[in-house]
Amino acid sequence: MIRAHILVFLTFIPLFAFAPRETGNAPASAPASGAPVSSAADARAEGMRALVLVGGEHHAVEANTASVVDILKNGGVKLSKVDFVRIDAPPPGKPSAEKATLASNPDVLKDPELNNKYDIIFQYTQDSYIEKLDSDHVDGLLNFVRSGGSWIGWHCASDTFKTYPEYIKMVGGRFETHPAYGPVKIQRVATTSPVGEGVEDFETPDELYFLADAPAADKELILVANSPGGKTRPVAWTKRYGAGKVFYTTLGHGPEVYKNPMFQKLIVNAATWASYKGNGAVENGAIVLFNNHDLEGWTMCGPGRFVVDKGSVVTAGGMGMLWYDRRSFRDFTIDLEWSVGRKEDNSGVFVRFPAPMNPWTAVYQGYEIQIGDTFDAKHNTGSVYDFKEPTSVPTKPVGEWNKYRISVKGQKYTIYVNDEKVNEYEGSRSLEGHIGLQNHDNDSHVRFRNIKITESR
């Protein structure tokens, strides 16, 4: 993923470590993307099925979680099912912050069908009145996320299950203390995460949590705030836990923050981000390399950039390369779609190259399957660049989506354009390597979407 890398413990981050964020607008000359293709990797088209966990003392957990659900609905997030459940068992007259009206059913976390019933868990709980919960309850929650469920927690969720290290690892931090309730100045850090999109610096009354066990290496930071004394504290982040997506923010004590437009934008962004599967998820036997939403698992190499825009990723500048850094592949079939804004647009798909020092690593040690319709035979769409020309170039008109299927087995490379076989080539280079996309020059704006790879058995 393209990101600002922060390699210190979050509790002691100097503010100067965060650079201004580059905006992610698509180039003005980029072609229209069209409607993105729907995918089973996205949460249900009719909306996410949500389980909302509440409980604990000191917070109006029922009112505040209801506020979050209202924020999501008003922000356009589709929720087909919302079940509110208390996981605590408060004694009569408790909690003191509000009257408990929801039924208590902590055993919902032990349900072996949890992942089949819900797409996402929202959690606003605290360690009060949960004495009856045991490791099986916690494991049920963790297994839900590990298995691909999404989790959004806020404020006192980091003050829950504090004796379970694996839960703290999933959240990304553990509550220790906070100064008095009062104005907190929130700052957004440099990030390309869609969760930070449109969120600007803001101020809100709240409790600024001081956290422990919050390493920077496993998360993408979105928001920070300065505590008394000048320490910079993490306020919001995203991370992965197993196959699941995790978002957490320390904000959310009193009613004021739920009325703040920037907090509302943050929560809507987080739920939207959580509603689709991450890159690397398996769908119908294929690994989703690009989910049409974010570049998690991809790294930029060389000049230029790639911008996620309207359900696709578009090239800008160059010559550089975006490559999938999570792993290499041996024998496989890669399927993807691309479109161009001009016949002269130039790009390509690189296969089987080692982790690159620069974009030329892929040129000289892998193979490029070319995109570009106005070049000589060995450099046209469907060619193995510099090595073998295609038998035909059956591309569609400018602005329409084309399909590539690139099958690689042993040293045999078979290339299909829009379901027509156009090339077969016997190679001699590495039998294993990474996948990459080329951004060739300032004038070329090529879009890609629906990038999936199926490994041969």
Which tens digit of pLDDT belongs to each residue from 135-181? 999 999 999 999 889 999 999 999 999 999 999 999 999 999 999 99
Domains belonging to the chain, first-starting first, are 10-30+43-274 (3.40.50.880), 289-455 (2.60.120.560)
| pLDDT given for residue 10 in this prediction | 36
**pLDDT computed for residue 38 by the predictor:** 33
What pLDDT score does 124 carry?
Answer: 96
For the ranges 91-95, 117-121, 268-272, 330-334, the lowest mean pLDDT is seen at 91-95
Would you state the pLDDT for residue 45?
56
- Say what percent of the chain tops pLDDT 70: 90
Quick one: pLDDT at residue 120? 96
- Report pLDDT digits (tens) over 39-81: 334 444 578 999 999 998 889 899 999 999 999 999 999 999 9
Q: Hey, what are 29's tokens?
A: 């000359």
Q: Among 62, 63, 60, 57, which Cα is nearest to 129's?
A: 57
| Contacts of 293 by beta carbon, 8 Å cutoff, 6+ apart | 194, 273, 276, 308, 311
Which pLDDT tens digit goes with each residue over 339-348?
999 999 999 9
Judge whether residue 456 has pLDDT over 90. yes
pLDDT at 30: 34
Model confidence at 440: pLDDT above 70: yes
The pLDDT assigned to 103 comes to 86
Q: Given phi > 0 = left and psi -120 to 50 = alpha, else beta, which region is 11? A: alpha
Two tokens at 107? 């055993």
Nearest Cα neighbor of 186 from 225, 227, 236, 238 is: 225
- Of the candidate ranges 244-248, 278-282, 330-334, the one whose mean pLDDT is the lowest: 278-282
Return the top range by mean pLDDT from 190-199, 202-211, 269-278, 290-299: 202-211
- Among candidate residues 148, 280, 297, the one with its CA nearest the CA of residue 220: 297
Among 191-195, 238-242, 262-266, the range with the most confident prediction by mean pLDDT is 262-266
Q: What is the pLDDT of residues 1-50, one digit of tens each?
A: 223 333 333 333 333 233 323 333 333 333 333 333 333 344 445 789 99
User: What's the mean pLDDT when you consider all of the chain?
Assistant: 88
Q: How far apart are CA 273 and CA 245, in angstroms?
A: 9
In the sheet that holds 320-324, the strands lie side by side as: 298-301, 320-324, 434-439, 347-353, 367-371
pTM of the model: 0.69
Side-chain-side CA neighbours of 24 within 13 Å: the count stands at 23
| CA distances from residue 237 to 31, 112, 170, 214, 247 in whole angstroms, order as listed | 32, 29, 12, 11, 6
* Digit-coded pLDDT (tens) for 210-234: 999 988 888 999 999 998 888 899 9
